[in-house]
A and B are shown apart, each in its own frame.
Chain A
Amino acid sequence: MTESRGDRSARSDGGSVTEEGPVREGFLRRLSVPLDRRFGSDFFESSPFWLPPFLLMALFVYGAIIWNLMISLTDYTGFAGSPDYSNLDFEMYTQAFSDPGFREAAINTLILLVAFTAATLIVGLLLAILIDRGIRFENTFRVIYLLPMSLSFVVTAQFWLWMYNFNNGIANRLVGSIGLGPYDYIGNQALVLWAVIFALMWQFSGYAMVVYLAGLRAIPTEHYEAAQVDGASTVRMYWRVIIPQLKGATISAAVVLMVFALKAFDFLYSLVSGYRPPNGADILATKMVREAYANLNWSYGAAIAIILFALALAVIGPYLYYEYQRGYL
């Protein structure tokens, strides 16, 4: 679909672009003709459509990130109105790397990133395969699996707090029925991060399922049939033939999940109704907000935010390049 568009713009890049379009008055015309010649026939006329939203977005996203970078180089703390931009240094970053709390949060962030993404993708893929087996009531199953995704983290945190409750929670009833526990999931430093990962996996695996399902539906039926004619078992067929074709779905779902894991702030905040997550579950996203808004270490918070941004960039940079190469941009 994009080809014809590409052809056309390539053609009009060539030169004769002035023969169409409404007549504009002197100044605008003098401005628009060279612009259109350079950028394509509709450039000037289309700018009222995309330029205002773009500027608003760019100001709030990219302008704010640059501003944040500036603030992270100052020593801005406390209730003072504005940072002092006259004296910039990297002190906040050296402070971060020597802060054991920061290191712990960074490690937890990476664990969350990898374990949550992997678990969610695997569960989502299994669900998608189950749903794709030509079942009845497919819509009902899909609606139920995706349901948690429509809920706020503030809401799901309440549910899981109750699930993980030491005395009355279902989690302890379940492990109790096989003779284990009870465990203090939220209070135990070694367990809490995994409990959070499990809860987030519950909330997001429906999303991974929907992405994979779209990928599975795009695979031609002949591939299934060919594998079965060859006598491959069902498991082998999926492993060898089907799953390798889901690379695109895996990449786009993984990027969304990883970026989400970097900002799983709302859930952790709601677990404790406060800026300090349970011991052992502090991540960079929560530490950043806590340093800035609870401890009023604004510039230190800003520095952590920049490090978090760099992590996100490490995930989305390659993704954008991949999309660009496939011609999706």
Chain B
Amino acid sequence: MKDQPDDTKDQPDDASNRDTIGSGGFVSRLRSLDRGRVGLYLALLAMVGFYLTPIETGLVTSLKTNQAVIETAPYAPPGPSGFTLEKWQTAIDQLLRGMGNSMLYAVPATAISAFFGSLAAYGLTVADWSKRYKAPLLALFVAGIFIPYQAVLVPLSQFWGQYVQLGQNLGFVWALGIDNDYAGIIELVTTHVAYGIPICTILFRSYYKTLSTEMIESARLDGASLRRVYRRIVLPLSTPMFAVVLIYQFTQIWNDLLFTLVLVATESSPAAPVVLILAGLGTGMEGTDFPLRMAGAFFTALPTLAVYIAFGEEFAEGVTT
């Protein structure tokens, strides 16, 4: 990640340097500039150390034998005798099924909530109706982003456990030989879609507000229906925002523990998502197996790390909006 080739492409050499305005001769300017600049880069590098140390420590620790963990410094790489892939092996063995389960709900929930968000934002932004009535609806969407999920947990358990009861009511699915714990996966998809709609709607809305209104208005004047405008104009233009929303949602849903804990409950369940298994990994009577936990943590984070490294810009846009 450190030497991405395109790092400097939007940083011209004469990047505006606000310090230099108004200082004296060339030499003194160069000198004061150098001192300031060196300090600046040192500070930036120190912060790089701050952000990467916990991650780097985890990575090297995951490659150590239990003996090497005690003998070497936590941040130092293992020596040849202390190096092992055994912890990664164990972590992958235990977490792989969780990885599959997580994919099983994270991918559909991401796609559906993004699509719903786009629809809702379109109906509330591009479509032309009274602002007076739109504003309270939008306020409900915005507030929905910030709800502490604790406030809905007990009803959520009641809803799925006492009323919908997919574990029993989808009998024909479980008759196919699928463990009925997988009802939890369907519950997770629905739940994540419902609670993802607010943020997706607001993200799309911020984008639709910047769309040029001329094309849409002239299409409307030509008699195009709203559905046609959406399919022919707005949806094709939404591609960059879909990238942002999909990345944001995928990261959120993949990383979430609370709903998996409440809806799937046990890490021994065949439908257990990866975060749930990781939360209990490497804890035992004989103490915490840190190398195993670190390996598990990295393995769990792989999908989101890959997404982040590939689409860092879109991720940043998603979190800021």
Binding site for B on A (CB under 8 A): 1-2, 4-6, 8-10, 12-13, 20-22, 36, 38-43, 45-54, 56-65, 67-68, 71, 81-83, 127, 130-131, 133-156, 158-163, 165, 167-170, 173, 202, 206-207, 210-211, 214, 221, 224-225, 228-229, 234, 255-256, 259, 262-263, 265-266, 269-270, 273, 284-285, 288-289, 292-293, 298, 301-302, 304-306, 308-309, 312, 315-316, 320, 323-324, 329
Q: With A and B bound together, what is the CA distance between A301 and B262 in angstroms?
A: 13
Residue in contact with A50 in the complex, picked from B73, B119, B144, CB distance below 8 Å? B119
B54 contacts A160, CB within 8 Å? yes
Query: Contact: B22 with A228, CB < 8 Å?
Result: yes
Contacts of B50 in A (CB 8 A): 202
- Of B1, B130, B294, the contact of A39 (CB 8 Å cutoff): B130
Binding site for A on B (CB under 8 A): 1-2, 4, 6-8, 10-11, 15-19, 21-22, 40-41, 43-44, 47-48, 50-55, 57-58, 61, 69-70, 73-75, 116-117, 119-125, 127-131, 133-135, 137-144, 146-159, 162, 191, 193-195, 197-198, 201, 209-210, 213, 217, 220-221, 223, 225-227, 230, 251, 254-258, 261-262, 275, 278-280, 283, 288, 290, 293-294, 296-298, 300-301, 304-305, 307-309, 312, 315-316, 319-320
Task: Specify the main secondary structure of chain B where it touches its partner.
Answer: helix
Residues of A within 8 A of B258 (CB): 263, 265-266, 289
The closest CB in chain B to the CB of A127 belongs to B47
Contact of B197 among A49, A57, A265, A266 (CB under 8 A): A57
Q: Can you name 30 A-B pairs with beta carbons within 8 Å?
A: A8-B217, A21-B225, A36-B129, A42-B128, A43-B129, A46-B122, A50-B127, A61-B144, A61-B147, A63-B155, A68-B155, A71-B155, A71-B158, A82-B158, A130-B44, A135-B41, A139-B312, A140-B1, A140-B7, A148-B54, A152-B256, A155-B255, A158-B293, A162-B54, A163-B54, A173-B73, A263-B149, A263-B150, A270-B279, A289-B150
Partner of A146, one of B133, B217, B288, B315: B315
Choose from B21, B131, B257, B319 the contact partner of A225 (Cβ within 8 Å): B21
Select from chain B the residue with minimum beta-carbon distance to A56: B194
Task: State A1–B312 Cα separation when bound (angstroms).
Answer: 28
Q: Determine if B319 and A152 form an interchain contact, defined as CB atoms under 8 angstroms apart.
A: no
B220 near A20 with CB under 8 A, answer: yes
Which residue of chain A lies nearest to B306 when distances are taken between CB atoms in the complex? A150
**Is B130 touching A40 in the complex (CB atoms < 8 A)?**
yes
CA distance in complex: A262, B151 (Å):
11
Contact of B137 among A54, A308, A312 (CB under 8 A): A54
- Report the minimum CB–CB distance from B128 to chain A (whole Å): 4
Given contacts A140-B2, A316-B146, A324-B135, contact A269 B257 (CB under 8 A): yes
One of A136, A146, A292 near B153 (C-beta < 8 A): A292
List the A side residues contacting B221 at CB < 8 Å: 20
Chain A at the B interface: mostly helix, strand, loop or mixed? Answer: helix
Contact A150 B146, beta carbon cutoff 8 Å: no
CB distance from A131 to the nearest CB of B (A): 8
Query: Does A158 contact B297, Cβ atoms closer than 8 Å?
Result: yes
Whether B152 contacts A207 by the Cβ 8 Å rule is: no
What residues of A have a CB within 8 angstroms of the CB of B131 in the complex? Answer: 5-6, 9-10
Shortest Cβ distance from B251 into chain A, in angstroms? Answer: 6
A150 and B41: CB pair below 8 A? Answer: no
* Minimal Cβ-Cβ distance residue in B for A256: B146
- Cβ of A219 to closest chain B Cβ, rounded Å: 11
Chain B residue numbers with a CB within 8 Å of A61 are: 144, 147, 152, 194-195, 198
Considering the complex, give the chain A residue whose CB is closest to the CB of B59. A159
A136 to B11, CA, bound (A): 6
A51 to chain B, nearest CB (A): 8
CB distance from A215 to the nearest CB of B (A): 10
> Which residue, of B43, B117, B123, B201, has the highest number of chain A Cβ atoms within 10 A?
B123
A228 to B1, CA, bound (A): 37
The reply to whether B129 and A40 form a contact with Cβ atoms under 8 Å apart is: yes
Q: Which residues of chain A are near B293, meaning CB under 8 Å?
A: 158, 161-162
